[in-house]
Structure 1
Amino acid sequence: MTSDALVSIIVPVYNVEKYIQRCLDSLLVQTYKRIEILLVNDGSTDHSLAICERNAEKDDRIHVYTKPNGGLSDARNFGILKSKGEWLSFVDSDDYVDSDYIEYLYSILQNGHASMAICQHRVVFSSGKVHTNLYRGRSVIDAHTALERMLYHDGIDTSAWAKLYPKKYFDKVLFPKGKLFEDIATTYKTFLLSDRIAVGEQAKYNYMFRTDSIVNNDFSSKKFDLISMTESMATDVESVYPDLKQATLRRIIYAYISTLNQMSGSRKHLEMRNEIISKIRRYRKSILSDRRAPFRDKAAVMLISVNYVLYAKTWQLYLRFKKGES
């Protein structure tokens, strides 16, 4: 594809010396050539910066910036400010993309006369097992449909990556500094700004499931951000689309379940855990009667309502199976 539109690819970098070269290799071979790659070194203490600088010496499309550590949101916001492209895409430094990642996003954007574009992704586990996210449906949808499908995990998710945005959206939208699960507080706002969203069926982004990542490591009170930001998202979405109230409830229940999963094995925050369990039980009938709620949600709600300890053990078995562990 030929086009004059410059696409800025923003890559936050923090202590990823084991992964950053693979990420950069995948970006440097993009079939869409009119790109700039902004590497935002967020106070790394390993060799990440040296690797970034070495690559920048070989390709002038790479721009390296160093700033004090402020977290993923702060690094993304910094990259947005420094970007010069009309279009933006985010790639995490421990992930990698297919060679036609940008070309694919840009082509479905243009073909659909859309405001933004989304592609699918693969989850790559350390065991070598790969799960590909699937999408079936119309190739161009409106904001209401995109939000509803996202709230039900129906082929569209909240991740900032695997998407192509107009830069102007980020005049109104910023990532929340100092928060975990920052995408949940941000991505839905870009949907609300869009009238036409192009959604591709093909997976072009490879998400690496790392057990040592911030989200997957030991539980801390910061992980309650998932609940607070999901509840804020629900309030905002319902203010625009009141008919999505059941969908937002399903997403809130998912946040409760996910937080319980993160807390599994921890003996801290027992009062909060019991409060979350109580809320899940309170909304049990509503979720079980929701025809669009995934079966996994319903099974979790049923088990938690009957016996949380049994649920926690079942979750650990499921997680091992999902990762492909014996």
Structure 2
Amino acid sequence: MFQKGKVSVVVPIYKVEKYIHRCVDSILNQTYKNIEVILVDDGSPDHCGKIADQYRDKDDRIKVIHKENGGLSDARNHGMKQVTGEYTMFADSDDWLKENAIELMLHYSLRYQADVVQSAFYYAYEDKLLIDNRYIDANDEPLELDNQILMYELVKNEKVKNFAWGKLYKTELIKEIPFKKGVLFEDVFWAHQVMHNVKNFLLMHQPLYYYFQRDDSIVATYSPRNLDIIKGLKVRHQFIEKNYERLIDASYIAILKMCLIHYNLLFMNRKKDKNGIYRKEIQSYIQTNYTKLKNAVKYDKQLNTQLYLFSLHPYFNIAFLGLRRGLRSIRVLSHPPGLEQVEVNLKKEVLAE
């Protein structure tokens, strides 16, 4: 049996010596004290393992696991084996929490009898905080979603995010659902399995989690391994076809968007895609499923256009997007709504934690 009222926080650790104190301190300093913190040293080659042990020696709420490097999924799976709390959260070791995050999320979980609670979050940079205000107002009351609406929102990945972090789960809901090892974007392979079993999902609008954005450019650091996200969406699509027939078109749209994005990234990183093997795979998928994709995007003018141009030749779509960027730069086209900067001193915000 899991300990009633206790919240377990699983934190995988790997090469984050620069950030680990900010993360762990933000959890230990929570206003809600009935927690356990499971630090999983995933064979980190720096001093992270030693730092984790130092925390354990100072606070008996901390457990430390040292293991050979196996990746984020493997670390989370090892951490889950040690969970004793009625509720579980995941935090990435370069992110951090608002000091009242757990207290508020648990309060609303109990108030609404929610299986999972998701808070809003900040995109945290070294010098600024950004937030996606398209769908939220921090002053709004939490929004309850039943399973059907939840799965639709998960597939869209706008209001409900595929991220494992930023959510408070009833432990019994996730205990027997491991993360897929050996892949990037492991949350995409995992989230739909969890949400399929959720009866009541609560969407909070207050930002309680800081999602740290490193300076590395996705173009500069891009690797074909990033294509795992498309693999994850295809695995999820098979699940959708079996269990949520009405969401098949939405799932196709999610896959198409990701295929187009990654084709362009591969084009910009042609040296990493010898003989265009990965681009050909994407092109083959779109050609094979063209009729189904065309039907899915029939009400989306831009995606419909992109799909048509891509089917003629992928470079036509690239040229189309380049033209749109150019028109935006001279303000002929308006920029799509996106992230807004929050007027807050980040250093003070961090110190407040």
Calculate the TM-score normalised by the size of structure 1: 0.85
More deviation in 252-261 or 305-314?
305-314
Task: Pick one of 314, 318, 343 that aligns with 1:308.
Answer: 318
Alignment-mate amino acid for residue 247 of structure 1: A
CA RMSD across the alignment: 3.1
Q: Which residue of 1 is the match for residue 350 of structure 2?
A: none
SS class of match (2:5): coil
Aligned to 1:188: 192
C-alpha distance in structure 1 between counterparts of 2:68 and 2:219, whole Å: 24
Contact 1:119–1:201 (CA<8 Å) still a contact in 2? yes
Aligned equivalents of 1:323, 1:263: Cα separation in 2: 29
- Whole-angstrom distance in 1 between the partners of 2:266 and 2:131: 24
State the alpha-carbon separation in 1 of the partners of residues 100 and 124 from structure 2: 19
Moved more, 183-192 or 282-291: 282-291
Structure 1 residues 6 and 68, CA, compared in 2 at 3 Å: closer, same or farther? same
Match of 1:14 in 2: 14
* Higher alpha-carbon Rg: 2
Change in Cα spacing, 1:40 to 1:238, as seen in structure 2 (3 Å) is: same
- Paired AA for residue 57 in structure 1: D
Structure-2 residue corresponding to 1:276:
282
State yes or no: 1:51 paired with 2:32.
no
Cα-to-partner distance string for 1:49-106 (whole Å, 9 max, x where unaligned): 2222222222221111110000000000000001111111000001111111111221
Following superposition, the deviation at residue 108 of structure 1 comes to: 1.6
* In 2: Cα distance, 1:253 partner to 1:205 partner: 29
Distance 1:44 1:195 in 2: 38
1:216 & 1:33 partners in 2: Cα distance? 42
Cα 1:276–1:242 shift into 2, 3 Å: same
- 1:8-157 aligned at under 5 Å gives the runs 8-126=8-126, 128-132=128-132, 135-136=135-136, 139-157=143-161
Give per-residue Cα distances to partners, 1:189-237, cap 9 Å, x unaligned. 1110111111111111111122449x77633332221111111111112
Q: What are the superposed Cα offsets for residues 151-205 of structure 1, whole Å, 9 maximum, x if unpaired?
A: 1223111000011112222343110011110000111111101111111111111
Equivalent pair of 2:115/2:169 in contact (CA under 8 Å):
yes
Question: Which residue number in structure 1 is paired with residue 345 of structure 2?
Answer: none
Q: Provide closer, same or farther for how the CA distance between residues 132 and 98 of structure 1 changes in structure 2, counting only shifts above 3 A.
A: farther
| Contact preservation (8 Å) 1:8, 1:85 | yes
CA contact (8 A) 1:38 1:65 kept: yes
**Given the alignment, which residue of 148, 162, 165 partners 1:161?**
165
Residue ranges of structure 1 left out of the alignment (5+ in a row)? none
When residues 99 and 262 of structure 1 are mapped into structure 2, their CA distance, relative to the original with a 3 A threshold, is farther
Amino acid at match of 2:205: E
Contact 2:142–2:205 (CA<8 Å) still a contact in 1? no
**Percent identity over paired residues:** 30
One-letter amino acid of the counterpart of residue 259, structure 1:
H
Superposed CA deviations along residues 243-284 of structure 1, whole A, max 9, x for unmatched, are: 111111111113213423542521133132144246557366
TM-score normalised over the length of structure 2: 0.79
Where does residue 225 of structure 1 map in the other structure? 228
Q: Label 1:54 to 1:106 Cα distance change in 2 as closer, same or farther (>3 A).
A: same
Q: 2:63 corresponds to which letter in structure 1?
A: H
Which portions of structure 1, spanning 4 or more consecutive aligned residues, are displaced by more than 6 angstroms? 312-318, 321-324
Pair 1:129–1:200, CA change in 2 (3 A):
closer
> 256-265 or 227-236, which moves further after superposition?
256-265
Q: Does 1:209 align with 2:213?
A: yes
Going from structure 1 to structure 2, the CA distance change for 1:298 and 1:93 (only over 3 Å counts) comes to: farther
Aligned residues: 316
The partner residue of 2:181 within 155, 177, 194 is 177
Q: 1:56 to 1:299 in 2, by over 3 A?
A: farther
- Cα 1:218–1:323 change in 2 (3 A) is farther
Partner Cα separation in structure 2 for residue 37 and residue 66 of structure 1: 14
Q: Are 1:289 and 2:298 counterparts? A: yes
**8 A contact 1:133–1:155 mirrored in 2:** no
User: Which segment drifts farther, 73-82 or 192-201?
Assistant: 192-201
Rate the CA distance shift 1:165–1:129 in 2: closer, same or farther, 3 A.
Answer: closer
**Inter-partner Cα distance in structure 1 for 2:115 and 2:219:** 33
SS at match of 1:5: strand
Cα gap change, 1:315 to 1:59, in 2 (>3 Å): farther
